[in-house]
Amino acid sequence: MTDTTPGGLENLLSEDRRFPPSSEFAAQANAHKDTYSWANADRPAFWAEQARDLLDWSTPFEEVLDWSGAPVARWFADGQLNAAYNAVDRHVEEGNGDRVALHFEGEAGDTRTITYADLQREVSKAANALGALGVETGDRVAIYLPLIPEAVFTMLACARIGAPHSVVFGGFSAEALYSRIVDAEAKLVVTADGGYRRGAASALKPAVDEALTKGEHTVTHVLVVKRTGGDVEWTDERDVWWSDVVDGASDQHTPVPLDAEHPLFILYTSGTTGKPKGIFHTTGGYLTQAAYTHKAVFDLKVETDVYWCTADIGWITGHTYVVYGPLINGATQVIYEGTPDTPHRGRWWEIIEKYKVSILYTAPTAIRTCMKWGEEIPSKFDLSSLRVLGSVGEPINPEAWIWYRRVIGGDKAPIVDTWWQTETGAIMISPLPGVTETKPGSAQVPLPGIAATVVDDDANPVPDGAGGYLVITEPWPSMLRGIWGDQERYADTYWSRFKDLYFAGDGAKKDDDGDIWLLGRVDDVMNVSGHRLSTTEIESALVSHPWVAEAAVVGAADETTGQAVVAFVILRGDAGGGDQAPDEVQTTLRNHVAKEIGPIAKPRQILVVAELPKTRSGKIMRRLLRDVAENRQVGDATTLADSSVMDLIAAGLSAPG
């Protein structure tokens, strides 16, 4: 285990601070301690009750869980419902049309307030426009938008007609967008001229234009929202402005009743191979767990809370905890387009003060960045409205956890450290506020209805106090239903490491109370600022450059971003790279990775080496490279085919120039 655990987390296990819930919080909490025992005694029955309580079904279900086609689950399969109806229309029908659904804050300070009644009209218009553009139930729609209200309207419009959406994060390149469009066989792309990032307009449409020239595809139209007013190239028969087709469309639209197992969306994520995986989720089970977890883990009180999740809709957190969970529950939330330091480093705290945000959900990397900027910045703002704080995306180090609690949460707001994945669809392991005595740095307990444990190499559960691999032992409603177009890869990736157990890819340890501490990935997936990146994907981007003969990428511990991408490359003797100054090689290759995948995948450092450490069977020993990247003494190198390689690398790196 220690070989594969990212550095810097060892101190987690000696952490002994404890934070019991206050009696005032406990008295009003949505969650109850007793829920665990009855939910875990009959998990399907527990989830069926949540599905009936939290969702409206056009055809009620009788069947709860069908696991006969394992590892593909079917939940509530004979029922029918519509996600957009549940997220929007029913709140209006119940008399809550005037409640604010979205407080939108643009980076430049422009704002829009969208009530549930507004949302119903906007989503209906968008659904009618999609229909007019030929999108039918079952067709796939790619969404490449900034975090603006139209992104939410489009996702819900797709859900309304049963066209699975595939949101591609705006920070991905044309190349990455193209491969996702092709894999999902998308019929339509919805984009914008651009969005605002770091005080300037940043174009999006050119990446769509470029993507669609890369090769064959099935896209018939590109629907373009005007956000920045920047110049755009236009392909007449293909491109349509949102204002031309959506604004004038009818605001009446009947949601299509869909089977509970109808695909709701595809979301691509990095795996251990170069090709991103299209994780797909269906409707009834996903929405049930999204809604339940959003209500229980954040202690949501719809009448009084103002919720804010800082994730972009391009990630699973944005799907489940910006769009589906909060809207299904009828919550009021803030969405913010920009970066935390534009135009100043207090921007987030200003937004919290302005809207009196009471629940904040963000990533450890953001907390660590704010720590670096200094607590005098948040302390200038009134953050007293905050009552629950969430963390997601990567392990949170105890120091950041304590800072979050003290500086942002006024030493009273409970912190929920939520562990889950694109694949799990919704939160799986987390404290429950008002119930759990929290421990800084631990996600602690599987939620009611979820069965997770830590096992050793032979799939035996480890005793308390020991480490191993995190697995999920029973099916759960929001589990992925597979990898789009590749069910064999689904079984291989998640179900072959341990028989009948879902292998999450994370290392974990149980403490003496049996609580779970996540220790980071044990596979070739890195976690940079809470974003998942694959070492292999970046390696293939690097070797696609003519200068590069071979590349190895590792995730090295980084104080702010959790992990950082560090690449080791061997240059081709005859391709010209070797004649360049090291800075030039570094800049050129970093930009090349940005072009192939996106700026988020740019290596922090690229080191030119003469050899890479390989085992006799030719496998690169990333563990040794990680030691180099983290400036540590290089560990056991006895299994290397050529044991002098590490000395060569070390000598090369310390040599001048």
Q: Which residue has the tokens 């991103």?
A: 276
18 is in an annotated binding site: no
Q: Estimate to the nearest angstrom the gap between the alpha carbon of 477 and the chain centroid.
A: 18
Kindly tell me which of 107 and 506 has the beta carbon lying closer to ligand PRX. Answer: 506
Per-residue binding string, ligand PRX, 363-382, x by CB under 6 A, is --------------------
199 is in an annotated binding site: yes
- Nearest approach, Cβ of 268 to ligand PRX (angstroms)? 11
Kindly tell me which of 240 and 313 has the beta carbon lying closer to ligand PRX. Answer: 313
- Nearest approach, Cβ of 529 to ligand PRX (angstroms)? 11
Per-residue binding string, ligand PRX, 267-296, x by CB under 6 A, is --x---------------------------
Q: Which two tokens stand for residue 97?
A: 């049309």
- Nearest approach, Cβ of 203 to ligand PRX (angstroms)? 26
Q: Please report whether residue 212 would count as binding ligand PRX according to CB under 6 A.
A: no
- Nearest approach, Cβ of 362 to ligand PRX (angstroms)? 11
- Nearest approach, Cβ of 321 to ligand PRX (angstroms)? 9
- Nearest approach, Cβ of 314 to ligand PRX (angstroms)? 11
547 is in an annotated binding site: no
Given the DSSP bridges, would you call strands 359-362 and 388-392 parallel, antiparallel or unpaired? Answer: parallel
Site size toward ligand PRX, by CB under 6 A: 21
Give the footprint of ligand PRX on residues 429-458 (CB under 6 A).
443
Helix, strand, coil fractions of the chain, as percent rounded to 5? 30, 25, 45
419 is in an annotated binding site: yes
Angle at 502 between CA 325 and CA 601, to 5 degrees: 70
Q: Please report whether residue 394 would count as binding ligand PRX according to CB under 6 A.
A: yes
Q: Which two tokens stand for residue 238?
A: 């293909």
- Nearest approach, Cβ of 568 to ligand PRX (angstroms)? 23
Q: Estimate to the nearest angstrom the gap between the alpha carbon of 349 and the chain centroid.
A: 23
Please give the single-letter amino acid code of residue 585. Answer: V
Kindly tell me which of 443 and 566 has the beta carbon lying closer to ligand PRX. Answer: 443
For 364, left (φ over 0), alpha (ψ -120 to 50), or beta? alpha
Contact at 8 Å (CB) between 390 and 360?
yes
Kindly tell me which of 362 and 527 has the beta carbon lying closer to ligand PRX. Answer: 527
Q: Please report whether residue 316 would count as binding ligand PRX according to CB under 6 A.
A: yes
Burial class (CB in 10 A: 0-12, 13-18, 19+), 350: middle
Q: Which of 88, 245, 296, 392 is close enough to bind ligand PRX by CB under 6 A? A: 392
198 is in an annotated binding site: yes
Q: Estimate to the nearest angstrom the gap between the alpha carbon of 65 and the chain centroid.
A: 26
189 is in an annotated binding site: no
- Nearest approach, Cβ of 177 to ligand PRX (angstroms)? 18
What is the torsional sign of CA 233, 237, 242, 244? positive
Contact at 8 Å (CB) between 385 and 306?
yes
What is the torsional sign of CA 305, 311, 314, 316? negative
422 is in an annotated binding site: yes
Q: Please report whether residue 418 would count as binding ligand PRX according to CB under 6 A.
A: yes
529 is in an annotated binding site: yes
Cβ neighbours of 614 (radius 10 Å): 18
180 is in an annotated binding site: no
Helices 43-54 & 284-297 angle (0-180, nearest 10):
90
Q: Which two tokens stand for residue 571?
A: 């240059």
Residue 14, CB-side half-sphere exposure with 13 Å CA sphere: 4
Kindly tell me which of 336 and 469 has the beta carbon lying closer to ligand PRX. Answer: 469
Contact at 8 Å (CB) between 471 and 484?
no
Kindly tell me which of 88 and 483 has the beta carbon lying closer to ligand PRX. Answer: 483
Q: Please report whether residue 421 would count as binding ligand PRX according to CB under 6 A.
A: yes
Q: Which two tokens stand for residue 646?
A: 């590490």
Q: Please report whether residue 362 would count as binding ligand PRX according to CB under 6 A.
A: no
Burial class (CB in 10 A: 0-12, 13-18, 19+), 523: middle
Task: Find the part of the chain contacting ligand PRX (CB under 6 A) among 340-348, 372-380, 420-428, 599-607.
Answer: 420-428
List the beta bridge partners of residue 388: 359
Q: Please report whether residue 608 would count as binding ligand PRX according to CB under 6 A.
A: no
Kindly tell me which of 317 and 436 has the beta carbon lying closer to ligand PRX. Answer: 317
- Nearest approach, Cβ of 520 to ligand PRX (angstroms)? 6
Across 143-166, b (16+ Cβ under 10 Å) vs e yields: bbbbbbbbbbbbbbbbbbbbbbbb
Kindly tell me which of 208 and 518 has the beta carbon lying closer to ligand PRX. Answer: 518
- Nearest approach, Cβ of 291 to ligand PRX (angstroms)? 17
- Nearest approach, Cβ of 502 to ligand PRX (angstroms)? 12
- Nearest approach, Cβ of 406 to ligand PRX (angstroms)? 20
Q: Please report whether residue 15 would count as binding ligand PRX according to CB under 6 A.
A: no
- Nearest approach, Cβ of 526 to ligand PRX (angstroms)? 9
Kindly tell me which of 188 and 528 has the beta carbon lying closer to ligand PRX. Answer: 528
Cα separation, 386 vs 394, whole angstroms: 22
Q: Which of 324, 348, 419, 469 is close enough to bind ligand PRX by CB under 6 A? A: 419
DSSP 6-61: PTT-GGGGG----BPPPHHHHHH-S--TTHHHHHHHSHHHHHHHHHHHH---SB--
Q: Which two tokens stand for residue 122?
A: 């906007």
DSSP 595-623: HHT-GGG--SEEEE-S---BBTTS-B-HH
Cα separation, 17 vs 611, whole angstroms: 46
Give the footprint of ligand PRX on residues 526-565 (CB under 6 A).
527, 532
Kindly tell me which of 154 and 527 has the beta carbon lying closer to ligand PRX. Answer: 527
Kindly tell me which of 119 and 392 has the beta carbon lying closer to ligand PRX. Answer: 392
Burial class (CB in 10 A: 0-12, 13-18, 19+), 216: exposed
Find all residues with CB under 8 Å of 26, minimum gap 6, and list them.
434, 435
Across 316-342, b (16+ Cβ under 10 Å) vs e yields: bbbbbbbbbbbbbbbbbbbbbbbebbb
- Nearest approach, Cβ of 320 to ligand PRX (angstroms)? 8
Kindly tell me which of 178 and 361 has the beta carbon lying closer to ligand PRX. Answer: 361
Per-residue binding string, ligand PRX, 477-506, x by CB under 6 A, is ---------------------------xxx
Kindly tell me which of 530 and 577 has the beta carbon lying closer to ligand PRX. Answer: 530
Report the binding-site residues for Mg(2+).
543, 545, 548
Indicate the annotated binding residues for ATP: 393-395, 417-422, 506, 521, 532
Which residues are annotated binding-site positions? 197-200, 317, 393-395, 417-422, 506, 521, 529, 532, 543, 545, 548
Residue ranges of the annotated binding site for CoA are: 197-200, 317, 529
User: Which stretches of the chain bind ligand PRX, using CB under 6 A?
Assistant: 269, 316-317, 392-395, 417-422, 443, 504-506, 518, 521, 527, 532
